[in-house]
Amino acid sequence: MDYFISDMHFGHEDRVKWDARPFKDAAEMFSVMRERWNARVREDDDVWIVGDFTYYGETDDENIRHYALNLNGRKHLIYGNHDDRIKNSPALQHLFCECVYEKYIERDGRKFFLAHYPMVEWYRRPQGCVLIYGHIHGSCDDGYDFMAAHRKDEAFNAGCMINGYVPVTFEELALNNESFRQQYISDKEK
């Protein structure tokens, strides 16, 4: 099974409050997310982490090892803007099946392009390839407005905060993105 998630920011105390995440602190966030993750993901599942596994300013190598080794599945990291510590450490990179800046995969007749940042165009988009991205978390800024208006059926936000803080299948990802978009439209109309 393939699962997708992004922007966990394990170890990042401020991210808990900035995103209004439902946790008292970063330790509780990891504990709850680990429990949910491991209840769903088996060791032979692939988890595509679309950036920002941790936060470079608040996590050391030992914490990164702890996070990675306590989560089930074959973890593939698509580098995000906060994954510098992993980018610069071959020892940490070995915790993942691969660490890349972007990735094209085909699964069950579907084409996916994985990149941390939302983008206007991507590899094989004209051939039906969908984009799975992160970075914007659950924010509704200009970037989200553009993606929701112009790429809603082609690009999907894997941010953990709109996906129940757990890796999700593509079908769940699409449903969660549509629910988030509908709530956003409803909130704007108020």
Q: Of residues 74 and 60, which shows the higher confidence score?
A: 74
Q: First-to-last CA distance in the chain?
A: 40
State which residues form the domain around 56.
Answer: 2-189
Chain centre to alpha carbon of residue 99: 14
Q: State how far the Cα of 65 lies from the Cα of 156, in Å rounded to an integer.
A: 28
pLDDT digits (tens, 9 = 90+) for 111-162: 999 999 999 999 999 999 999 999 987 777 777 778 877 788 899 999 999 9
- Rg (the chain; Cα; Å): 16
CATH number at residue 98: 3.60.21.10
Chain centre to alpha carbon of residue 144: 15
**What number is the average pLDDT over the span 36-60?**
92
Nearest alpha carbon to residue 46 among 6, 7, 3: 3
Q: What is the pTM of this model?
A: 0.94
Q: What is the 3-state secondary structure (H, E, C) of 60-121?
A: CHHHHHHHHHCCCCEEEEECCCCCHHHHCCHHHHCCCCEEECEEEEEECCEEEEEECCCCCC
**Number of domains present in the structure of the chain:** 1
pLDDT of residue 173: 97
pLDDT digits (tens, 9 = 90+) for 64-115: 999 999 999 999 999 999 999 999 999 999 999 999 999 999 998 999 999 9
pLDDT of residue 144: 78
Q: What one-character DSSP code corresponds to residue 141?
A: S
Nearest alpha carbon to residue 29 among 48, 51, 8: 8
DSSP bridge partners of 168: 4
pLDDT of residue 57: 65
